[in-house]
Structure 1
Amino acid sequence: MQIPKGKKIYFASDNHLGAPTKALSLPREKKFVAWLDMVKEDAAAIFLLGDMFDFWMEYKRVIPKGFTRTLGKLAEISDSGIPIYYFVGNHDLWMDGYFEEELNIPVYHKPKEFTFNNKTFFIGHGDGLGPEDKGYKRMKKVFTNPVAKWLFQRLLHPDFALRLGQYMSVKNKMISGDDDAKFLGDDKEWLVQYCKRKLETKHRDYFVFGHRHLPLNINLGNNSKYVNLGDWIQYFTYGVFDGENMELKDY
């Protein structure tokens, strides 16, 4: 993609809308919608890197109640011709066609490479990458198993299933936005290690992830950087690429 003059590419991640309650989440949702209104003025594209909802599951004819402001704004922006790309996170693994069919937003379940103005970006949510986190990797295999998903949806009424899923998601410390999320150092940050291993086989200018709930901009050497977008719980940070440079900004 060649970015038109005066246009930018925007990135955001980890809103966890709906957590810890609908009422407490609403001000954050309104703030995010205001951000979308701002960036649509000069956006060449918008990338949402997962966990926009604290829990999301799609049935054939049922989706979670709420989030009307966000979904409506995404539809408006998509209809205006600005492309939006969505990468599922660990809290919204069970996306299954709704965004593509209703919002014309492609959904990716794995990291993907893009090129903007001859700069190569490797983009994804960031969960389950790197040499560790083996417990989560095993759990993710269960959650994404088609049989397990079918049983969960067929044996439980949607009202109960969505309530249970929301309860379990809120219990996850990664949505707390508190001091649990601390930079561990390059040698212990799994995503840093993952990026360095990927660079052994191919150069990328930027690795852009979410998941860690920390705004990070780390030089990997050889003109390559790892950018973590932070979150919309505590930091309200986002990434912006102007065609030449990638920055983290506060909203």
Structure 2
Amino acid sequence: MQKPNKVYFASDQHFGAPTPQDSYPREQKFVAWLDMIKTDCHTLFLLGDLFDFWFEYKTVVPRGFVRVLGKLAELRDSGIEIHFFTGNHDLWMGDYFEKELNIPVYHKPKEFTYNNKVFLIGHGDGLGPGDKGYKRMKKVFTNPFSKWLYRWLHPDIGVKLAQYLSVKNKLISGDADVKFLGEENEWLVLYSKRKLESKHYDYFVFGHRHLPMVIKVGENSSYINLGDWIGYFTFGVFDGDSFELKEYKPEEA
């Protein structure tokens, strides 16, 4: 058998939204995709908002998602590297993934190198110019004191309240209109170009915008937005030579 050598990327599944029942078919599709890629996957990056809401109490995590978590555990136990970046919907992720699944969790963009290609990878929220309201809100939500206060709510109340706000309130959820703003206005494009002023990156890979995009930001640099698993079902794959953005179609798998 050929040694697994591909690097896969996916983002913005928002499982649990708008209801667990509506989310379930998307979860099944994602698990089928994980099953498909496991034959040639060396490393899997999950770039945030895997759940529409996630909060870890010291001894409690939100119920549900058992098939997704079980499949991730299976892949990790088989030797596949998995990296998880928190998004704005699961920014309260703690050490559950690290302790239960042996999956490292990152809260900021991080650099990786594969086959001499340099990647800067992250969720994408709060980066680049503008969106000052969200940036202020994120500082409040990520403050340890805020998390400590929230833990005093009983999980039955805290989880249900946050799930409701995450779906219903755009200010809390951080959702933006899913419209292409043009290269000159896409803040992650601007962020990528600014980063290139100090260091070369071959690929900037982000989620958050929910729009599949591949945009050249330098002579040998590209910005990729992975889209989502709500309407697009898109993912990225790096085969050692080039990066490709693809749509998962079960009938072709």
TM-score by length of 2: 0.94
- Aligned with 1:90 (options 78, 88, 91): 88
- Which residue of the partner structure matches residue 70 of structure 1? 68
Asked if the contact 2:4–2:42 (Cα under 8 Å) also holds between the matched residues in 1, the reply is no
Asked if the contact 2:5–2:239 (Cα under 8 Å) also holds between the matched residues in 1, the reply is yes
Structure 2 stretches lacking a partner, 5+ long: 249-253
- Which residue of the partner structure matches residue 222 of structure 1? 219
Asked if the contact 1:123–1:209 (Cα under 8 Å) also holds between the matched residues in 2, the reply is yes
Residues 140-178 of structure 1 show CA distances to partners (whole Å, capped at 9, x for unaligned) of 000000011101111x1111100011011112459x9x9
Q: Cα distance, 1:180 vs. partner?
A: 3.0
Q: Cα distance, 1:7 vs. partner?
A: 1.9
Partner amino acid, structure 1, of 2:226: L
- Which residue of the partner structure matches residue 101 of structure 2? 103
Residues 104-162 of structure 1 show CA distances to partners (whole Å, capped at 9, x for unaligned) of 000000000000000000000000000111000000000000011101111x1111100
Asked if the contact 2:12–2:50 (Cα under 8 Å) also holds between the matched residues in 1, the reply is yes
Paired residue secondary structure (2:151): helix
Q: Cα distance, 1:221 vs. partner?
A: 1.9
The answer to whether 1:123 aligns with 2:110 is: no
- Aligned with 1:142 (options 136, 140, 154): 140
- Aligned with 1:34 (options 32, 35, 43): 32
**Rounded Cα–Cα distance in structure 2 between residues aligned with 1:172 and 1:76:** 35
The answer to whether 1:192 aligns with 2:177 is: no
- Aligned with 1:244 (options 236, 241, 244): 241
Q: Cα distance, 1:186 vs. partner?
A: 1.1
Q: Cα distance, 1:222 vs. partner?
A: 1.7
**Rounded Cα–Cα distance in structure 1 between residues aligned with 2:4 and 2:232:** 27
- Which residue of the partner structure matches residue 251 of structure 2? none
Using a 3 Å threshold, how does the CA distance of structure 1 residues 120 and 179 change in structure 2: closer, same or farther? Answer: closer
- Aligned with 1:204 (options 201, 204, 225): 201
- Which residue of the partner structure matches residue 58 of structure 1? 56
- Aligned with 1:159 (options 156, 167, 180): 156
CA RMSD of aligned residues (A): 1.8
Runs (4+) of structure 1 moved beyond 3 Å?
Answer: none
Asked if the contact 2:193–2:218 (Cα under 8 Å) also holds between the matched residues in 1, the reply is no
**Rounded Cα–Cα distance in structure 1 between residues aligned with 2:73 and 2:136:** 35
- Which residue of the partner structure matches residue 12 of structure 1? 10
Paired residue secondary structure (1:129): coil
- Aligned with 2:165 (options 138, 148, 168): 168
TM-score by length of 1: 0.95
**Rounded Cα–Cα distance in structure 2 between residues aligned with 1:213 and 1:37:** 23
Asked if the contact 2:11–2:49 (Cα under 8 Å) also holds between the matched residues in 1, the reply is yes
Q: Share of identical aligned residues, percent?
A: 71
Residues 208-251 of structure 1 show CA distances to partners (whole Å, capped at 9, x for unaligned) of 00000000000112210000000000000000000000000000
Asked if the contact 2:234–2:246 (Cα under 8 Å) also holds between the matched residues in 1, the reply is yes
Paired residue secondary structure (2:42): strand
**Rounded Cα–Cα distance in structure 2 between residues aligned with 1:225 and 1:180:** 23
Q: Cα distance, 1:20 vs. partner?
A: 0.1
Asked if the contact 1:173–1:180 (Cα under 8 Å) also holds between the matched residues in 2, the reply is no
Partner amino acid, structure 1, of 2:216: N
Q: Cα distance, 1:198 vs. partner?
A: 0.3
